[in-house]
Amino acid sequence: MSGLRLELGPAKEPLGLVRGLQWFFSIFAFATCGGYSGAVTFRISCFGANTTVTAPFAYPFRLNHAVFMPSLTTLCNKTWLGDLHLVGDFSSSAQFFVAVAVLAFLYSMAALALYLGFLHLYRGAGGRLPLADFLVTVAFSFLWLVSSSAWAKALTDVKTSTASPLPHCPPPSVSCFPAGVTPMGSLNVSVVFGFLNLVLWVGSSWFVYKETNFHRPAPAPTPGPAAM
């Protein structure tokens, strides 16, 4: 039979249990990174007047597009000749990390559905499906390693950029004081979830490998009736 056979047994085995954890934690990985928004705020004092300027930023962290508002060109007797931006573009690392998390979410969900509904096909396909599953799992392990490392480095650079002083503040006529940056706790958590997913995918490689013919040889063919 090649139809659906719902079996909850694989969900209690490491093969299905780890896939469920991968599905669950991949959601937190892309949600904590992709859902972030924040701002950098400075207080500017000049000629007896105080003004607060803010540069909002968010995923995918193209900080060089984040402009301080209200425009600094109207402040302090035109000390700044043009609008000021934050520094750096970290979108490639952030988008790569989120893309890996979303793809891992989709694949782990599809694999879990295969285990629960079509395990007889999975284990009865001559080892082709377990081998493909194993290769994809190894590939995702590598992608989690690369994307999490790249995003961790990019996050460090984001923090450095947003903590930089405001340029062109000649004292004593103009004073610029940092008034705060939106906390980045959720971004720190996204890095943690990235490496946690790495551990889960590396660990699941062993359980998927055990389903392949390399670890579990294909059953020998049933001998036919003896010739008369």
Q: What is the mean pLDDT of the chain?
A: 87
pLDDT level of residue 1 (50, 70, 90 thresholds): very low
Does some domain include residue 147?
yes
Does some domain include residue 4?
no
Q: Environment class of residue 167 by beta-carbon count within 10 Å: exposed (0-12), middle (13-18) or buried (19+)?
A: exposed
Does some domain include residue 171?
yes
In this prediction, residue 15 carries a pLDDT of 81
Does some domain include residue 30?
yes
CB atoms within 10 A of CB 123: 14
Lowest model confidence (mean pLDDT) among 39-43, 114-118, 212-216: 212-216
In this prediction, residue 16 carries a pLDDT of 84
Does some domain include residue 47?
yes
Residue 172, pLDDT above cutoff 70: yes
Lowest model confidence (mean pLDDT) among 2-6, 37-41, 140-144, 172-176: 2-6
Give the predicted TM-score (pTM) of the model: 0.86
In this prediction, residue 175 carries a pLDDT of 86
Does some domain include residue 100?
yes
Does some domain include residue 214?
no
In this prediction, residue 21 carries a pLDDT of 93
pLDDT level of residue 228 (50, 70, 90 thresholds): very low
Of 71-75, 76-80, 139-143, 165-169, give the range with the top mean pLDDT.
139-143
In this prediction, residue 149 carries a pLDDT of 97
How far is it, in rounded angstroms, from Cα 191 to Cα 20? 20
Find out whether the peptide bond into 130 is cis, omega within 30 degrees of 0.
no
- The 10s digit of each residue's pLDDT in 24-75 is 999 999 999 999 999 999 998 887 788 899 999 999 999 999 999 988 888 8
Range of the domain at 36: 9-209
CB atoms within 10 A of CB 46: 19
Domain count, the chain: 1
Helices (H), 79-219: 91-117, 119-123, 128-162, 185-209
How far is it, in rounded angstroms, from Cα 196 to Cα 25? 8
Does some domain include residue 219?
no
